[in-house]
Structures are given as C-alpha cells and as structure tokens.
Amino acid sequence: MTWPRATSRSSRRRPPFPARSRRQCILAGVLTGFLDHPVPLAFAHRGGAAHAPENSWRAFEHAVRLGYEYIETDVQATADGVLIAFHDRTLDRVTGQPGRVGRMTRKDLAGARVGGTEPIPVLEDVLAAWPDVRFNIDLKDTPAVEPLAGVLRRTNAWDRVCVVSFSASRLRAARRALGRPVCMAASPLGTAMVRLGTSLAGAGVQCLQVPVPVATSSFIRRAHRLGLQVHVWTVNDRPTMQALLDRGADGIMTDDTVALRDVLVGREQWHPRVAG
C-alpha cells in the first residue's frame, strides 16, 4: 500500500473488538473470520517485496514458508475481466515493458515478467494455492470490483479476505457487488472521521490501515474504543516496528518479512500460520 496502548510481550489472545463494541459489530453484520487471529497481525506487504519481486509467486511463497498468515496484495483487472496481483495501472515500473493493464487481456500479459523473472499471478490462482492463508486485497481501480465478487464466490474465500481501497466510492461499490459481509478497512475519509472521534458504525468497516505518522498512541486508543483494529504500513525498520507494537498497533505490514518475524519472535508475539 502507498498513501498520500502500551502492551505486554505475552502471546495472549485478544478478541478483535472490545467487548462493548462486539455486539454492535455483529448486529451490523460485518463480523467475519479475517481478524479472528491473535494480535498483532503480521502482513507480508506485496508478499514481502524486500525478498522477492513484489506481488510475485516467489514473494508469496517466501512469506508462507516463513509462517505468515496474512499476505497483502493489490489487484488490477485486465481488459477481459481477470484479476491479477499487480499494483500499478501500467507495466513499466515493475516489468520494464510498456502497456496499460486495463487495456490488455490475460493472454497479452502472459509474457510479462515482474522484476524480469516472475510471471504475473492471477488472484484466483493465488487464493486457490493457499486455502488457509488470509489475503488483504487492495482494489486499485473500479474495474476490479465486479471480478472480485466472482473470484470470492468461486473460491469461497469470503472469510479470509479483507477488501481495502483509498476510494470510499470504490469500497461502497465493492460492498454492493459482494452482496454479503466481508472484512473491509476504512478509506482515508473513514480514517479522518475516526481521528475526529466519529464512529463508523454501519459502514461495514472492521479495521483501519494507516501510515506510520497516523498511528499515534492516542489514535490507536480512539480506534480501539470504536471497536476497530489498527494496521500500520509500510514498516521496514525494527525500531519503528517495536514502537508501534508498544503503542498497541494490531498489525504491521512490511516488505521485510524476516525482520518483522524476528521482532515478533523476540517479543513472544509471533503467531505463525498453521497449515490446515
């Protein structure tokens, strides 16, 4: 992702919502299994881009081998409605080739290589490859909304995805298209409302995903009072990871998956994936 409470070191499980907010969330129909995991959550950002080309099979595989339960990825839709794990609207930066993803078919993209070596993954294939891994999915453009609903139906992955976007209107469109409760993170507008102390009840939001400067101790406390988890991105240095965990951050997204794992192991807060 890119965007213009002190705790003990125990591995004690904490419910994803404060008790007084849980009933409200259930009544809103938005409580899903995505966040049903001991915190802090460790997210492999774009699969762990410090160790392999971003959003590539090799990056995802590396994160899974390390024990990551949560993988963050981005999706774009091709001209023929196939969702690919890819951040940019164009191929240039990541593959060195020209072309706009939304104007190309899956077949057109078959020869493109991320970092010069890795084929571009199809989201549906990634979800099928690891049916016990949870995916944080960033909708990068509106054409990805309808295909995402189809992918989740075919893979039955409703309870192991969180849908995020910097566009509030895109999130609303996704909520309509999905047609059933799925974990969603707040848009920047929703995050601003929380900073002002406004509840997001009824918005279908379960978490806030914010850059480091937003994740102050007071912001995290305010979010917790409103029944929301706080996940922070993109954190690649160990001192900042430690500081955020001390403040009570519920999750950290990192490119350096080895560093975050080591920090959490040292704090006795590493909760590795257990294969189903």
pLDDT tens-digit series, residues 48-57: 999 999 999 9
Would 36 be classed as within a structural domain? yes
Cα 272 from Cα 276, distance rounded (Å): 12
Would 26 be classed as within a structural domain? yes
For the entire predicted model, the pTM comes to: 0.88
Residue-range definition of the domain harbouring residue 230 = 19-75+132-266
Give the per-residue pLDDT at 258. 98
Alpha carbon distance, N-terminus to C-terminus of the chain: 28
In order of 1, 22, 58, 142, 271, the CA distances from 211 in angstroms are: 9, 26, 26, 23, 23
Range of weakest confidence among 6-20, 103-117, 203-217, 256-270: 6-20
Which whole number is the average pLDDT over 212-220? 98
Cα 139 from Cα 175, distance rounded (Å): 12
Q: Using 50, 70 and 90 to split pLDDT, how confident is the model at 12?
A: very low
Residue 246 corresponds to which tokens in the numbers above? 């001390």
Chain mean pLDDT for the chain: 90
Cα 2 from Cα 64, distance rounded (Å): 23
Which whole number is the average pLDDT over 104-132? 97
Q: Nearest to residue 40, comparing CAs of 229, 211, 220?
A: 229
Give how many domains the chain has, as a whole number.
1
Give the per-residue pLDDT at 25. 40
205 pLDDT above the threshold of 50: yes
Would 112 be classed as within a structural domain? no
Residue 97 corresponds to which tokens in the numbers above? 């080739």
β-strand partners of 111: none
Which whole number is the average pLDDT over 182-208? 91
Identify the H or E element spanning 114: strand 113-114
Would 143 be classed as within a structural domain? yes
The answer to whether residue 37 is catalytic is no
Would 3 be classed as within a structural domain? no
Q: Using 50, 70 and 90 to split pLDDT, how confident is the model at 276?
A: low
Would 116 be classed as within a structural domain? no
Query: Of the residues 51, 87, 224, 231, which is catalytic?
Result: 87
38 pLDDT above the threshold of 90: yes
Would 167 be classed as within a structural domain? yes
The answer to whether residue 51 is catalytic is no
Q: What is the CATH number of the domain that holds 149?
A: 3.20.20.190
143-177 pLDDT per residue, tens: 999 999 999 999 999 999 999 999 999 999 999 99
Matching residue, tokens 């899903």: 32
Would 235 be classed as within a structural domain? yes
Give the per-residue pLDDT at 261. 98
